[in-house]
Amino acid sequence: YPKLFWPKFKELFQMKMTGTYQPNDGHLYLADLEKSGKDVKVFTQNIDGLHLKAGSRHVYELHGSIQTAACPKCGVRYGLDHILQEEVPRCHRVNGKGRECGFILKTDVVLFGDAVQHFDTLFEVLNESDLLLVIGTSLEVAPVRFVPEEAHLILGLKKAMINLDKTPYDHLFDIVIHQKIAEFVRKLNC
C-alpha cells in the first residue's frame, strides 16, 4: 500500500530526511583514514548517508539509503529533494509518447522481506582485509550479526569492536572497547 506507506515513512524518518544531520567524529575518522591512504571500505546498516557526507568514498549501505528512491516500473532513481516534493513521490520520467510514467516510487531502504544489499561484497572484502572494525552496533540484526563468526574463521584477520555496550560476540574480537565511538576517536586525536 504505497500511498499509505510514504506519509508514515516520511513521518518516521522526518529528522533524518531533513538533511540537517551531520557526520560525527566516528564518521569523519573513517573518512580521514581513507584520505590518509588507507584502503577503507565501510559497510553500514545505517540508512542516513552520513558516511558519504563525511567523505568516505567506498560505502556499502547494507540496508539501503533514505536519500534515494527508484521507480519500480522504469528504474529511474531520484534523490531526496524529489522524494520530499510530494507526499507520495512519483516517477516523472516522460516516455517516447510524451506521457509521464507516474508510478509511485519505492524507497531504497531495505524493508522487511527485502534482501540485504552488498552482502556478497562484504565477504569478498573481508577475505582480502587485514583488519575488521565493527563499530557502534549491538549485532542483534541478522544477517549482519553473523559477520563476526565468519570473520573469526579468516586466518590472519585482526578484529576490533568499538561499541558502548557489550554484545554476545565480543569474545570473537581481538580488541573490544566499550565506549562511544565519537569519544574514542577524540581521544585518539589528542
Query: 74: annotated binding-site residue?
Result: yes
Give the H/E segment covering residue 131: strand 131-135
In the annotation, is 63 catalytic? yes
Q: How many CB atoms lie within 10 A of CB 138?
A: 13
Angle at CA of residue 188, ends 183 and 190, nearest 5°: 95
| Annotated catalytic residue, options 27, 51, 58, 63 | 63
DSSP string, 160-183: EEE-SS--TTGGG-SEEE-S-HHH
Query: 190: annotated binding-site residue?
Result: no
Is 101 exposed, middle or buried, given 0-12, 13-18 or 19+ CB atoms closer than 10 A?
middle
Long-range pairs for 49-57 at CB < 8 Å and ≥24 separation?
A: 50/21, 50/22, 50/23, 50/24, 51/23, 51/27, 53/22, 53/23, 53/27, 54/23, 54/27, 54/28, 54/30, 55/28, 55/31, 56/27, 56/30, 56/31
Question: Catalytic residue numbers?
Answer: 63
Q: Which residues are annotated as a binding site?
A: 71, 74, 91, 101
Binding site for Zn(2+): residue ranges? 71, 74, 91, 101
